[in-house]
Amino acid sequence: MSENDDQDRELPASEKRLREAREKGDVPRSRDLSAAVVVLAAVSTLIASADQMALHASNIMHVGLRYSRADLFAADGASHALATAGLEALKMLGPVFSVTIVAAIAAPALLGGLNFSGEALVPKFDRLDPIKGFGRLVSMNGLVELLKSLLKVILIGGVLAMYLRSTTRELVAVGAGSVNNGIAQSFRMLGHASLLFGSMLGVIALVDAPWQKFSFAKKMRMTKQEQKDEHKESDGNPELKSRVRQMQHQMSRRRMMQDVPTADVIVVNPTHFAVALRYDDGAMRAPRVIAKGVDVMAQQIRDVASAHKLPFVEAAPLARALYNTTEVGKEIPAALYVAVAQILAYVYRLKQAVANGDLPPDPPTPEIDPDLLGPYRMDT
């Protein structure tokens, strides 16, 4: 990655980019943090069980020292001795191994979380390129790794050297006492030295973990062009989406026009708005809008309705309120129940009058709350 690329990558990584990186096994990791957790877990177990471990180590020594000439010539003498020593060794090291394995699995979760990716196991032969390898050495990450290595040598080497210097007498006195005391003392000194070692690793990890998170976030940053490409890939081609929406709208209009002949009444305003209503008291809780339109669409609705000899009712405020409040295929709101009931009752009386040869009734003038008209308020 060139310096110009780094300068262009000024946008934080998106969720999609981070998810794809995680699927490839690319997550922030701190080897020093993992090593510190594993060592401290093992050392804590070693110190806590030092006496028991010393006892098992003493038993292993006794098995070797008590191996007699008769055991040598016995059929199962050697196997019995090895089995006994092996069992004691398992008892001695089992707790430490168990805790170490658990810590080794759990330690990576502290920074990048648990993650397994088969793609990370695939060998990457581009890492064998000497030119790229030299570039990694002279990069900022390479410099940080070099400084960490020097810090490890200075801290760990210096602290352990001081500890060995301060415990010189104890080391010399280990062989002067009994075997059991010498073994126990050796385990205690080993535990303290390992504890110092793990503590120094922990100090280094406190510096390394934030750096690894920062380095990973920097590596995942995106350019403006990458973000645009990702949005385009996620959202699809805008032209194609626009075409799909247009086709869906056309199909919806065709279905709506096919439902117009089933309407009971067309409420108009008188030319700009047209709303087709249908009511089936056996299947519907309230009248339903089955088609609506403005201007050209309103004219198409009127043409279809006229071809099927459907009744028209001119009620400008109601037509606008229905258009504003109710989507096609939905029931009208409760606030328009009374007004629509007046329209349906008028249509019923009109049909009866036509069938009987009577004069048509006067059309209703339902009152409509102006707030129901929304942006379609009528001019006063």
* Percent of all residues in the chain with a pLDDT value above 90, rounded to a whole number: 21
Name which of 229-233, 308-312, 352-356 the model is least confident about: 229-233
Q: How confident is the model at residue 341 (pLDDT cuts 50, 70, 90)?
A: very high
Indicate the pLDDT class of residue 331, thresholds 50, 70 and 90. very high
Query: Mean pLDDT, to the nearest integer, of 243-259?
Result: 84
pLDDT for 124 beyond 80: no
Residue 326, pLDDT above cutoff 80: yes
**Tens digits of per-residue pLDDT, 263-275?**
999 999 888 899 9
The CATH number of 255-376, from 3.40.50.720, 1.25.40.80, 3.40.1690.10, 3.40.50.11540, is 3.40.1690.10
Q: How far apart (Å, rounded) are the C-alpha atoms in residues 144 and 129?
A: 21
**C-alpha neighbours within 13 Å on the C-beta side of residue 115:** 21
What pLDDT does residue 243 have? 78
Average pLDDT, the chain: 80
Q: How confident is the model at residue 334 (pLDDT cuts 50, 70, 90)?
A: very high
Of all residues in the chain, the percent with pLDDT exceeding 70 is 81
Q: Which of residues 130 and 35 earns the better pLDDT score?
A: 35
Task: Spell out the domain ranges in the chain.
Answer: 3-233, 255-376
Instruction: Return the pLDDT at 318.
Output: 93
Q: Give the burial string for 302-330 (b: 16+ CB within 10 Å, else e).
A: bebbeeeebbbbebbbbbbbbbbbbebee
Q: What's the CA dihedral at 326, 332, 336, 339 to 10 degrees?
A: 110
Residue 170 has pLDDT above 70, yes or no: yes
Categorize the per-residue pLDDT at 43 as very low, low, confident or very high, splitting at 50, 70 and 90: confident
Q: Which of 302, 250, 309, 249 minimizes the C-alpha distance to 276?
A: 302
Number of Cβ within 10 Å of residue 56's Cβ equals: 20
Q: Assign 3 a pLDDT band (cuts: 50, 70, 90).
A: very low
How far from 226 is each of 3, 8, 16, 222, 234, CA to CA, in Å? 17, 10, 12, 6, 12
Tell me what the mean pLDDT of segment 183-193 comes to.
76
Query: pLDDT digits over 348-373, tens only?
Result: 999 998 888 888 888 898 999 888 98
Q: What is the pLDDT of residue 131?
A: 58
Per-residue pLDDT band at 380 (split at 50, 70, 90):
very low
Give the pLDDT confidence score for residue 276 in this predicted structure: 95
Confidence of residue 235 (pLDDT cuts 50, 70, 90): low
Residue 112 predicted with pLDDT over 70:
no
Whole-number pLDDT of residue 298: 92
The pair of structure tokens assigned to 139 is 């990069």
* pLDDT tens string 191-219: 788 888 888 888 888 888 888 888 888 88
Is residue 140's pLDDT more than 70?
A: no
Segment 88-114 shows an average pLDDT of 80
pLDDT band at 261 (very low <50, low <70, confident <90, very high): very high
Residue 258 has pLDDT above 70, yes or no: yes
